[in-house]
Amino acid sequence: MYGKEHMSTGQRRLDIEEIGGVTVARFVDKKILDETNIQNIGNQLFALVDEDGRKKIVLDFSIVEYLSSAALGKLITMDKKVKTAKAKLRLCCIRPEIYEVFEITRLNKIFDIKSTQDEALDGI
């Protein structure tokens, strides 16, 4: 069983589900802008790797309408942690406006981004 300790660090900002050995983390906020909120999201993301030792993670952005550069920073740190732990990370269901943010910052070159959750789960 995975520990739930990290969920107590601030309000829960991710819905976690296990699908066929893959951890699917769905953001619960439409707007990932607020500084405190971003800290909480970062802590909860990092705990998936650092505390739970999860090896296959899909981040589902279905609900996300906005995210700031600080949120991008947390995703980059998450990506580094995942690589260090020799785990795998995919992003999916990113709206076109948000995807443009990834393109402008060229982060679409770093992250493995899939259109749908099914594609993200396939062969990870």
Partner 1 sequence: MAVHDQFEVVIPSSTEAGQELLERVMGRIESLESFSMKDAFGIRLALDEAIVNAIKHGNGFSPDKTVRVNCTIADDLFRIEIEDQGPGFCLEDVPDPTEEENLERPCGRGIMLMRSFMSKIEYNATGNMVLLEKIPSAK
* Strand locations in 1-124 (E): 14-19, 22-27, 31-32, 56-60, 66-67, 88-92, 113-114
DSSP code at position 55: S
Minimum gap (Å) between residue 12 Cβ and partner 1: 19
Binding residues (CB under 8 A) for partner 1: these are 33-36, 65-66, 68-70, 72-74, 76-77, 79-80, 97, 101, 104-107, 109-110
| Closer residue to partner 1 in complex, CB, 79/119 | 79
| Closer residue to partner 1 in complex, CB, 22/94 | 94
CB 38 within 8 A of CB 32: yes
Minimum gap (Å) between residue 46 Cβ and partner 1: 12
Minimum gap (Å) between residue 112 Cβ and partner 1: 14
The edge-to-edge listing of strands for the beta sheet with 88-92 is 14-19, 22-27, 56-60, 88-92, 113-114
Instruction: State how far the Cα of 119 lies from the Cα of 49, in Å rounded to an integer.
Output: 22
| Closer residue to partner 1 in complex, CB, 53/73 | 73
| Closer residue to partner 1 in complex, CB, 2/66 | 66
Minimum gap (Å) between residue 3 Cβ and partner 1: 25
